Amino acid sequence: MEDVVFMFPGVGVQNTGMGKSFYDNFKIVRETFEQASDILKRDIAQMCFMNSQKEKLFELANSQSALLTVCVAMHKVFVKETGIIPKYSMGHSLGEYSALCSAGAIEFSQALKLVEIRSEIITEVSKTMDGVMMWVINIDRQTIEEVCCEESKNENKVFISAFDSPSQFSISGDRNNVMKVAKQLEGKGALIYPLKMNGPFHSQLMYKATEKFKSELINYRFCEFKYPVISNMTGLPYDTSENIVDNLSLQLMKPIKWTSFIEFLENEGIERAIEIDPKNNLKYLMEKNTENIKTFSVENIADLSFVKTKSLNQSNEQNLELIGRCLGAIISTKNNNEDDDKYNKGATRCNMKSIA
């Protein structure tokens, strides 16, 4: 296990052609796609790779299952090719399912079914309201909290639905209310980007979805973690697999605490992150949060080779450092040999062997 974290993306990074280089070169990827297609009763490879399927790919149910399939397949290849086992794993919103699969806490077949149910429930609940979600960039946390709080006094509640970095957030709520808040924030220098999502996701307006999804989650059995996964809901690692039901259901109505993820990792001394993502979006977020964690993105097989080389080089550097410390200890060890001539001859032979 290495001092590294695996990162998986959420909906929004899906694109036609994602995972294609892995699919073309690795049997295990094709098998993963076939498994997903058999379970979901639709051709996931066709949806991911054909331009004619682009509109279908961006439908919520399809984008979630397709992205999960691509990330799980890429993760299988990455681990097989590099042998890297992380100290932690984490995912942004939907990406938490990929993270849980990577850690063995949820079987891929189960995750596909759960993601399918999840998308059906949030789509159904979202249709009962005119909700929306927007990115807010170039603003500080205190300002966005004050504006949202002021607007919510009139029961026109607008929620911060993601804390992505010290200057990037998302807000969710009723469309008209969110537009009012967005206009105020723009006046304070913020940049606003509407998301292609018709729902107030990761806000309290999704409480009915939380209740419905929890009633489905309790029917599943989960496994022990091979390594810890950080929860979107708490910003901290799961205690046990028994927390999965509560964490995944509450995730629907709680904000994503990405900045808390990064703070936790820094406190744990993590210095490397590997993003398994068809669009390297999380590397950008990491750079906005900290300079202390170097991120490597795995988007295609060329990236795989690069990360593998970097990992091996880091291992060699660590080995050399260890050897240096050992030699330092030898050099500083007092000579307790009664015969100085024999001791010096031994040291000379040792030095000659080292040079050779």
pLDDT in tens, the chain (356 residues): 678 999 999 988 888 999 999 999 999 999 999 999 999 999 999 999 999 999 999 988 899 999 999 999 999 999 999 999 999 999 999 999 999 999 999 999 999 999 999 999 999 999 999 999 999 999 999 999 999 998 888 778 899 999 999 999 999 999 999 999 999 999 999 999 998 778 999 999 999 999 999 999 999 999 999 999 999 999 999 999 999 999 999 999 999 999 999 999 999 999 999 999 888 889 999 999 999 999 999 988 888 777 777 654 554 444 444 334 444 444 444 444 445 554 344 444 433 333 33
Strands, sheet with 4-8, edge to edge from the N-terminal-most edge strand: 229-230, 88-91, 4-8, 272-276, 294-298
Q: What is the rounded CA–CA span in Å between residue 112 and residue 118?
A: 10
Q: What are the backbone angles phi and psi of residue 128, rounded to the nearest 5°?
A: -85, 0
What are the structural domains of the chain?
Answer: 4-127+203-311 (3.40.366.10), 131-194 (3.30.70.250)
Catalytic member of 165, 170, 202, 241: 202
Contact criterion met (CB below 8 Å) for 183 and 171: no
Q: Give the count of beta carbons closer than 10 Å to the beta carbon of residue 323.
A: 10
Active site residue 203: no
Q: How big is the CA angle at 115 (ends 113 and 121), to the nearest 5 degrees?
A: 105
The rounded distance, in Å, linking the Cα atoms of 134 and 169 is 8
Report whether 163 contacts 231 (CB < 8 A): no
Structure-token pair, residue 30:
């094709």
Report helix, strand or coil for 199: coil
Stated as kind and residue range, the H or E segment containing 212 is helix 207-217
* Residue from 65, 93, 161, 241 carrying the catalytic annotation: 93
pTM for this predicted structure: 0.85
Q: Is 347 left (phi over 0), alpha (psi -120 to 50) or beta?
A: alpha
> Is-contact 16 48, C-beta < 8 A?
yes
Whether 202 is catalytic? yes
The count of C-alpha atoms lying within 13 angstroms of the C-alpha of 65, restricted to the half-sphere facing its C-beta, is 32
- What letter does residue 205 receive in the DSSP assignment? G
